[in-house]
Amino acid sequence: GVNDAMSTAEQTAALLEGAKNLLRVELLPYHFTAAAKYEMVAKSYAPTFDPARPVEFHEAPYQKRGIEVRTL
């Protein structure tokens, strides 16, 4: 994916740590709906990443900060 690096998860979890109204973090895989939306407006869709590559979900950075995390 685009933002599934461990370093990105660490930075995001650090940013969210201590957020008063945060209920949880939900990690989602890339969704191919974007391609259909581009087609609807007659534009070509060419992602700058390989959408077929398996996504890496990094829950640990959130969990170690006490943030509830779900992988959907």
Rg (CA), the chain: 15
Q: Give the 3-state secondary structure percentages of the chain, helix then strand then coil, rounded to 5.
A: 30, 10, 60
Is 1 part of a structural domain of the chain?
A: no
Is 66 part of a structural domain of the chain?
A: yes
Is 20 part of a structural domain of the chain?
A: yes
Is 29 part of a structural domain of the chain?
A: yes
Total domains present in the chain:
1
Cα dihedral across residues 24, 54, 52, 46: positive or negative: positive
Is 14 part of a structural domain of the chain?
A: yes
Is 28 part of a structural domain of the chain?
A: yes
Whole-number average pLDDT of the chain: 92
Mean pLDDT of all residues in 47-62: 90
pLDDT per position as a tens digit, 28-37: 988 788 788 8
Is 19 part of a structural domain of the chain?
A: yes
Rounded to whole angstroms, the Cα distance separating 51 from 2 reads 9
pLDDT per position as a tens digit, 10-33: 999 999 999 999 999 999 988 788
